[in-house]
Amino acid sequence: MRKIKLAVDYGSICGGCDVAFIDAGEKLIELANAAEIVFWPAVVDGKEEDLRKTREIDIGIFFGAIRTERHKEALEQLREKSRILVAFGTCACYGGIPGLANSVESRVLLKKGYVATKSTDNPDGKLPGFEEFKEAALRLPRLRSLVSPICDFVDVDIWVPGCPPPVESVNKLIDVVKDLQEDQVPPKGLFIAEGRSLCDFCEREKPEVLRIKRFRRVHEGEIKRDECFLKQGIICLGPVTRGGCGARCIDANMPCRGCFGPVPNVEDQGTRFLSAVASALMAEEEREVGEEELRKLIDELPDPLGLFYMYSLAASIINRRYLDLEGD
């Protein structure tokens, strides 16, 4: 049977998506038997030149968000050469954690990282430049003004959300590679995840009508293991998040932070959650509680942007508004 040509390239990553493949254990042998790995820096020795010289790839897998011009070039090259392009991990699908950078200007971020942190010794306040270092034949890639999910630039054939995707998703993707050996091509737009919300897979006792009297954080008191987090006043993004992770945070008695991205037909995960929370905030009692009291309740939420958009800010409507303004 012919071997499938496979390449992996990267945007802005933490390395967790590579590690997710290691979790597949013996199934990796099936991948090695089915695929010729043309380029995958974390797994086989190879140079960018090898990828540049390869004319056609059967399956290209992209990890990470688009943060620099180099990431965009790498993505566009992979798309051009690949019959099937996979967005692997939440960073590639929705911008992920790197996307939170879109709430601050890049220059402010650089100053924080290279000047303001206590452990940094940089008395001249020098920031990294983007010039060429001719002696070292090195060119630092320019930062783009915004972090983006890969679908902002290219067509995506398979989506594998998760931060990182669980081993079950990795196994299913390996099966896709094996199927390609027999010319079985997956449907375009395939999501290796569920089509329903995480709440549909959560075994905690859910309230018939959700009413939140006050918010609290996970460290503020005991968390009941069998009761919905929202009923306990703890923010859990289950209602607006795609299922498919095996409810791994919920099982560890931690609320969902939304890493599988929005449920189908919801464009903006954070806004949808905000509207659900607003109606749960004692809406019926609004007249008795009064606007000021309601505002106090909402102020109890620390870092709402980080809470509601932890993984999806770069794919949100707010982010797209910035894109419109910047014409980026």
Name the residue nearer to ligand SF4 (CB basis): 186 or 255. 255
Binding flags for ligand SF4, 224-253, as an x/- string (CB under 6 A): ----xxx-----x-xx-x---x-xxxx---
Binding flags for ligand SF4, 191-230, as an x/- string (CB under 6 A): -------xx--x-x-x---------------------xxx
CB of 307 to ligand SF4, least distance (A): 12
Task: Indicate whether 71 belongs to the interface with ligand SF4 (CB under 6 A).
Answer: no
Name the residue nearer to ligand SF4 (CB basis): 170 or 249. 249
Name the residue nearer to ligand SF4 (CB basis): 202 or 297. 202
* 325 class by beta-carbon count within 10 Å (0-12 exposed, 13-18 middle, 19+ buried): exposed
CB of 327 to ligand SF4, least distance (A): 27
Task: Indicate whether 273 belongs to the interface with ligand SF4 (CB under 6 A).
Answer: no
The size of the interface with ligand SF4 (CB under 6 A), counted in residues, is: 35
Name the residue nearer to ligand SF4 (CB basis): 5 or 242. 242
CB-based closest residue to ligand SF4: 238
Report d(CA 316, CA 258) in Å as an integer.
Answer: 13
Contact 263, 241 (CB under 8 A): yes
Q: Output the six-digit token pair for 279.
A: 């109606």
Which residue stretch of 126-134, 257-265, 266-274, 279-287 sits at the interface with ligand SF4 (rule: CB under 6 A)?
257-265
Query: What DSSP element (H or E) covers 177?
Result: helix 167-181
Which residue, chain included where needed, has tokens 């030149």? 49
Report d(CA 62, CA 93) in Å as an integer.
Answer: 10
- As a residue count, the chain comes to 328
Which residue stretch of 44-52, 86-94, 114-122, 276-284 sits at the interface with ligand SF4 (rule: CB under 6 A)?
86-94
Distance of CA 288 to the CA centre of its chain: 41
Among 60, 96, 149, 270, indicate the residue that binds ligand SF4 (CB under 6 A): 96
Angle formed at CA 239 by CA 236 and CA 243, multiple of 5 degrees: 100
Report d(CA 147, CA 9) in Å as an integer.
Answer: 17
CB of 59 to ligand SF4, least distance (A): 18
Among 164, 186, 262, 270, indicate the residue that binds ligand SF4 (CB under 6 A): 164
Which residue stretch of 44-52, 54-62, 90-98, 299-307 sits at the interface with ligand SF4 (rule: CB under 6 A)?
90-98
Task: Indicate whether 95 belongs to the interface with ligand SF4 (CB under 6 A).
Answer: no
Among 40, 62, 260, 309, indicate the residue that binds ligand SF4 (CB under 6 A): 260
3-state secondary structure of 321: helix
Amino acid (one-letter) located at 141: P
Task: Indicate whether 16 belongs to the interface with ligand SF4 (CB under 6 A).
Answer: yes
Name the residue nearer to ligand SF4 (CB basis): 59 or 310. 310
Going 219 to 224 to 226 to 230, the CA torsion angle's sign is negative
| CA neighbor of 46 nearest in space, from 92, 97, 7 | 7
Amino acid (one-letter) located at 164: P
Residues 6+ apart with CB under 8 A from 270: 305, 308, 309, 312, 313, 316, 318
Task: Indicate whether 159 belongs to the interface with ligand SF4 (CB under 6 A).
Answer: no
Name the residue nearer to ligand SF4 (CB basis): 149 or 186. 149
Report d(CA 5, CA 38) in Å as an integer.
Answer: 6
3-state secondary structure of 85: strand
3-state secondary structure of 35: strand
The residues binding ligand SF4 (CB under 6 A) are: 13-14, 16-17, 63-64, 89-91, 96-97, 163-164, 198-199, 202, 204, 206, 228-230, 236, 238-239, 241, 245, 247-250, 256-260
